[in-house]
Structure 1
C-alpha cells in the first residue's frame, strides 16, 4: 500500500503532515486589497453552481459568462488559445495535478475572480495570467514556471496586472525558473489611465531562480510583505515611473543582485534617473514598513514616497519564520479541493502513517517485524491499537511502522544498567530512547513479555546525538564522519556524506525526511537532483540519497530551527485522570510516527514558539506553557494510566514540551502587591534567587514553583533592584498592601513606589485559596445537577438518524465546527448565517442565508427548511457579536445590533420552532451564553448585558415549558464558554495586553455536541472551572470588585 493512498491530499514535499481540516479554503482566506476595498470582498463564484472539467473544451465553456460559478479543473489541459475568464468566477485546481499549458489565462474587463491551485507553465503566446481593466481578482496558491535559460524575451510575464486594474491580491504562489515575473502597469502610453488604480497586495509568495519583477510596478500602489526571494539576477522588487511600493517583512536569500530598487532602469547604471526616453524611465518611490531581511542583496531607494501604511488589516508573520512559512504554504496542493459540489471528505484513517505500512501476515509478531524493519517492537504495539497481542496478530491488518533505529534484543537477565553499559550510553539516555520504560527502570525487562524484546539503541536517524537533550540541537542533522559511498548512490548526491538512505517503493519525502529528522532545505542541498517543490516525484526507488552530510561539505549551513527540550508536563490541579492542558493551542492529531522537527515546523507556521508531543501521535502548539503545568517526574511522558489494558484516554497523557526559544514563555498571574521592607516575600521549598532578572526570565526559571517575584532589597545597605526569587511558600510575616494593583505596564512600578513587591503565581489554586471549600461544594453540585437536571423526568429517546439540528451563526467559529461535527456523524444539520460557509458542506448539511435579527427573514427561511428538510428538533442559538468598546465609544446602532443578535434573535427563533417541539413533546433548546454573563469587565458592558439577559431567558424558558406547556420532556441547556479562539476576538487575542488562556473552537464545539448527543440538560461551563464565576454574585462586594479590577486590562487599548 502506498502512503499516498492513506494520506491523499496532504503536502507531498514537506516534513510535516497536515490533516485535511488544516487544508481547507478557510485556512487560507483572502487578505489585502482583494478583501478590503471600496467595492467589497472578492468571493468569486461563491453561491453559484459548481462544475468539474477535465478537457480544454470543457474548461473554455465553463468559465464564460458573468453568472456566479465555481469551475474545478482536474488534470492537465493544453489550451489552443488564451482562456477568457468571466466575472464572478472561481477557477480552482483539484489536488496536485491541475495544470494549464499551451496558452495562458486572461481576465479582461472582469470583476470578482478567483484563480487558485493551478499550475501554469511554459506559456509562449503572452503572460501566464493577464489581468486587464479588471477589479477584485485573487491569484492564490498557484505555481508558475518556464525556463530562465531562454533569456528575458522568450517568455513574457507570469502574472501581469495592467490597464487600470484595481484591488488585486497575489498570495501564496510559487514563482520559479522564469525571467519576468509580475508587472504592474503598462508603459507611459497608459500613464493617465493607470494613475489612481493598480492597488495590489503581494504576500507570502515564494520566488526562486528568477530574472526580475518580483514585482515591478508603474503608476500604482503595491504592498509587498512576507515574501521569500531566492536568487534574482537583477531587481527583485522594482518601483519606477512614479510608482509607490510599501515593502515589509520580506526575506532575501541566495544570489540576489538588488532586493529593492526605485531606479528607473531595469539594469542599474547611474542613479538617479530623470529621462523618459526609451527604457530609461522615471524613478519610483519606496517605503519600508516592518523590518526586512535583505541577506546579501543591495537596496537602492532613490526617493521615498508617501505610502507608509496599508489601509487594511493584516497580520505579519515574524521575520524569522517567513522562509519556513512560505515554503510550507506556497504553491499548489496546499489547499483541499473537492471535485463535485456536495461531496464529503472521505473519513480519515484512525492514524495517518508517516513511515511504512505493513499488512500483517500469518505468524507475524512484534518481534519478527522489529527484526525485519529494524524498529522497536514496543513502538509497534503502542502505535497500533488494532494489535491486541504482540504474539497473536490478526492477518490483513495495516500496521504503521515506527521510524528505524538500531536495535538490541533483550535477554533474560538484562537490566537497564547492563544494557546501557554494553551500549556505552547512560541509563537516562537508554530510557529516553525507549519512553515506555519508566524513569526508575520500571517495566524493564518485565514489559518485554507484552511489548516484545527489541529496543532502540539509537534515535530514529541511526546516529546517536546527545545534543538534543537541553542544548541547541541545530547541528544534529549533520553527520560526524564520511561513510563509504554506496554503489547505488545518486550521482548528484553530496560526496562527503555520513548517512545514506535507499529509497523504497512507496516512499515519499515526508517519510524520508521525518525518518531522519531532516529539513527539506538541507535534503535538497545535499541532493541537488531533488526538486524542493516536487520532492516526492524526484525520488527514484532503489537509489541512495544523502540524509546526513558532514557539516563542512556544503557551501552554506542549512540548520533546522533550534529547539530546547523543556521536559514532561501534566496539569497538577486537575483530576489525576483528567485531560492534560499544559498546552492548549492548535494541534495535529493521529499522526504517527511524529518527529520533533515536523511538530516544530507546524507550530512555527502558526507563529507559535512552544510545542509539545503527546502519546506519540499528537502535536500541540501554544505561545506559552499554561497555568498549573508541573513536571511529570514519576511517570515520564508515557500515560498516567500506564501501557497496560486500563481504560485510558489519550488526553490524559503528559505532554513532552519543547520551545523554539531558549526562554520558555510561561503563563502567570499577579496575586497582589505585598510589603517587602525587611525580608524576602517568598520562602519555602525550591527557594532560589538571583539578581537583574526580567519578569519573563523570572517566570521561566520559577515555573515549577508556586510563587515568584522581582523584589527590591530595600533593607540592604545599598538598594538593589530586580532580585528574582521563587518558592512554594509566602513569607507568613508579610502583609498585602490594600488598594495597590499591578501597574499598567506590568512591571510593578505602582507597587514599587509604595516600597512593595508584586507576587505572581503559575498555580491557579492559589487564586481562590480563601474559598477553597468551594471545590467540595462544586463536586456535590455536579452530582446533584446530573441527578436532578440531566436525568429529570424525561422519557423521550433520541433517534439521531431522524433528528434535525438547527445552528445559528453556523458559518464561522464554534458554529462552523458544530455544523461539521454533527454532519460527520450523519446527522442532518441546518445552518443559519448572514454569511455563506467558508468551505463546502457535506450532503446532510444545509445552509440558508438568514438575518436572525428579522422575524420575517427567520419565518421565510423556516418555511423553506420545512419543505427541504423538515422540522428541527434541536435548536442551538449560537449567533453572537462583540465590540469590546467602552460605553461612550458605542454608537446607538451598534448597541441595537448587539441586543438584536445576541438576545432578541433567541426569542424569534424559539417562537418559530417551539410550537413543533411542544406538539411532539420532543426537542432541545441550547442557549450559547458566556462567562461574561456573571462578570462584567471594563469595555465589555454591551456584550455582558446581552449575555446576562440570556441567563434569564434560559431560566424563564425552562419554567414555561414545565409549568405552562406541560412539556418537561423538552430539554433546555445553557453554555458558558470562557475565551475561545474565534474570529470574534481575533484582534483581541493577538494584542500584547491579552494574556488569558484560550480554548479552541474545535474543543468547545466537541463538548457542546457531546452534551446534546447524550441528552443532557442544564448548565455547561467550558472549561469546567469557569463555573466558579457563576457564584461571584454571592461574594462580598469588595471581592467582586477586586475580581473585576483584575481583568480591567484585558480589553485595554484594543477592541474585538
Structure 2
C-alpha cells in the first residue's frame, strides 16, 4: 500500500502495532465477559458473526438486547477484502440480518487525497488567500478556494462514509483485519455489532481554516471512525481504534496551528441509546469519544445516550474518554494510560445534564500528572466516581479534583446505580486483565 502524499507532506505507512497474543493459561479470565454464555466456548471455534451480546452486559443488553446479524442466512454472509466489496455488502439485502467478515486491512482511500480534489482547488492558493495577515481573524473564510475546498471535502465524504444497516454484524477475520481511513455511519438503525476490527481514524484531506476559532484561528476536520447517530442496541467489542500511521505528531502546521486532520474515534450522538462498548483499545488520539455532541440537543438526547464502557484500554488519549452530555453513562473496569511524553487534558468530561457513573477503573499516570486532571467540568452535573485506583492506590477522584481545581467544584452522586453489569473485576487487577485481553486480535 502506498503512503499518503498531500500538499507535499508525505506520511509513510507503517504496520499498525499490535500487542502480544493472549497467554494460553489466561483463557479463564475472559469467561462470561465477551458475549453469549461461555466466552471460553466462543474462543474455541465458534463463529464470531453468530455471537450476540450477553444478557446483562451493559446498556446494549437492555430490552430486546443486541444480536446484530447473528440470524443471517447463508446468502447474507459476506467475506470482503476490498473497500468496494465492503460497500456492496452493506447495501445488499435491505434490512435482512447480515454478517460481513472483513479479511485483511481494507483501505477506503488507497487512491490518495488528490483523487478527491475538485478541479481548480490549489492548497497553496488557499493558504495565500486566507493567511491571517491577509484575511484577518474576524470573518469566516469565503470565496473561490473555500468553495473548491468544500467541494473536495464533499467528494471525500461520499467516498469514505458508509451506512451500516440494521441487523448487521461486522467482524474482522483473525488478527490484522479492519478498515483504513473509512467512516462507519450507524445512523437511525437498530441492532448493530462491530467486533475484532482495527479501525484507523480517517484523515480529512481538506480541513477548513476557521480564523474565528479561538484567538488565533484553527484548522477543523470532519470524519469520525465510527458514528452512532440516533441508533439503538449497538455493541462495539474487541476493536482497536487508532490514528495508526498518521499520529498528530506527523501533521504539519500552517498559520501557527496544527493542520488537524482527525476528528473523533467513536462518537455516540443525537438520541443514540442502549450501547455497550467493551474490551476495545483506544490508542494515540486527541478527541476520542463524544457521548452527546451539543448542549442544545436536549430534545434528542434527554433520557437517552445510555452507554456502558467496560474493560477498554485508553492509551495516549488527550481528552474525551469520554466527554458526556445528558446520558447515563456507566464506566467501569477500564484502564486509562497516560504516557510520559504525550499531551494530556482530561479523561472524563462532565457536560450538561450528564449522569456519569465511573467506578472500579484503573489509571496509570506519569510523574507530574495529577489525578485531579482526570475529571473536567464543562457544565454543572453530578457524577459518581468511587473505588478508582491511580497507580495502584485507591483515589477519590472528585475530592482530589475539588481540592486542586476549586473553580470547577464537582458534585458527587449521579443519582442512579447501574444494574446491567457482568463480572466487576478488582481495579487493582484491571491493568493486567485489560492490557492482556482488550483490542482487536484478542478473540479466539
Q: Normalized against structure 2, the TM-score is what?
A: 0.64
Q: Pick one of 189, 202, 217 that aligns with 1:123.
A: 202
Q: Pick one of 300, 304, 326 that aligns with 2:434.
A: 326
SS in 1 for 2:283: strand
SS in 2 for 1:178: strand
Give 1:110 shift.
0.9
Q: Pick one of 285, 294, 306 that aligns with 1:178.
A: 285
Give 1:234 shift.
1.3
Q: RMSD in angstroms over aligned alpha carbons? A: 2.5
1:300-315 map, 5 Å = 300=402, 302-315=410-423
Give 1:103 shift.
2.1
Give 1:324 shift.
0.8
Could you say which residue in structure 2 is the equivalent of 1:221? Answer: 328
Provide, for residues 795-830 of structure 1, a one-character-per-residue CA deviation record: whole Å limited to 9, x for no partner. Answer: xxxxxxxxxxxxxxxxxxxxxxxxxxxxxxxxxxxx
Change (3 A) 1:230 1:153: same
Provide, for residues 287-334 of structure 1, a one-character-per-residue CA deviation record: whole Å limited to 9, x for no partner. Answer: 134x11033985356113433411324320112210111011100111
Could you say which residue in structure 2 is the equivalent of 1:82? Answer: 161
1:776-815 map, 5 Å = none
Could you say which residue in structure 1 is the equivalent of 2:24? Answer: 17
Greater CA radius of gyration, 1 or 2? 1
Provide, for residues 602-649 of structure 1, a one-character-per-residue CA deviation record: whole Å limited to 9, x for no partner. Answer: xxxxxxxxxxxxxxxxxxxxxxxxxxxxxxxxxxxxxxxxxxxxxxxx
> Any stretches of 5+ residues in structure 1 without a counterpart?
1-10, 265-281, 337-1056
Compare the two structures and name the one with the higher strand fraction.
2
2: CA distance between counterparts of 1:54 and 1:76? 8
Change (3 A) 1:178 1:113: same
1:233-382 map, 5 Å = 233-255=344-366, 256=369, 258=372, 260-261=374-375, 263-264=377-378, 282-289=379-386, 291-295=387-391, 299-300=401-402, 302-336=410-444
Provide, for residues 922-975 of structure 1, a one-character-per-residue CA deviation record: whole Å limited to 9, x for no partner. Answer: xxxxxxxxxxxxxxxxxxxxxxxxxxxxxxxxxxxxxxxxxxxxxxxxxxxxxx
1: CA distance between counterparts of 2:191 and 2:20? 32
2: CA distance between counterparts of 1:12 and 1:22? 21
Give 1:261 shift.
2.2
Could you say which residue in structure 2 is the equivalent of 1:133? Answer: 230
Q: Pick one of 151, 165, 178 that aligns with 1:99.
A: 178
Q: Pick one of 201, 204, 210 that aligns with 2:317.
A: 210
2: CA distance between counterparts of 1:306 and 1:174? 26
Contact 1:262 1:285 in 2 (8 A): no
Change (3 A) 1:244 1:260: farther
1:907-926 map, 5 Å = none
Contact 1:34 1:136 in 2 (8 A): yes
1: CA distance between counterparts of 2:170 and 2:425? 28
Give 1:76 shift.
1.3
Change (3 A) 1:263 1:14: same
Change (3 A) 1:134 1:74: same
Contact 1:259 1:294 in 2 (8 A): no
Give 1:54 shift.
1.0
2: CA distance between counterparts of 1:136 and 1:28? 10
Provide, for residues 572-626 of structure 1, a one-character-per-residue CA deviation record: whole Å limited to 9, x for no partner. Answer: xxxxxxxxxxxxxxxxxxxxxxxxxxxxxxxxxxxxxxxxxxxxxxxxxxxxxxx
Give 1:22 shift.
6.5
Change (3 A) 1:63 1:157: same
Change (3 A) 1:299 1:152: farther
Could you say which residue in structure 1 is the equivalent of 2:72? Answer: 48
Contact 1:168 1:199 in 2 (8 A): yes
Is 1:193 equivalent to 2:289 in the alignment? no
Give 1:240 shift.
1.2
Contact 1:99 1:118 in 2 (8 A): yes
1:656-1055 map, 5 Å = none
Could you say which residue in structure 2 is the equivalent of 1:836? Answer: none
Change (3 A) 1:175 1:306: closer
Change (3 A) 1:260 1:285: farther
2: CA distance between counterparts of 1:283 and 1:63? 41
Could you say which residue in structure 2 is the equivalent of 1:143? Answer: 240
Which structure has more relative contact order (CA 8 Å, sep 6+)? It is 2
1: CA distance between counterparts of 2:160 and 2:381? 35
Contact 1:55 1:77 in 2 (8 A): yes
Count of paired positions? 306
> Any stretches of 5+ residues in structure 2 without a counterpart?
1-17, 28-39, 109-158, 205-222, 252-257, 403-408
Provide, for residues 493-529 of structure 1, a one-character-per-residue CA deviation record: whole Å limited to 9, x for no partner. Answer: xxxxxxxxxxxxxxxxxxxxxxxxxxxxxxxxxxxxx
Q: Normalized against structure 1, the TM-score is what?
A: 0.28
Compare the two structures and name the one with the higher helix fraction.
1
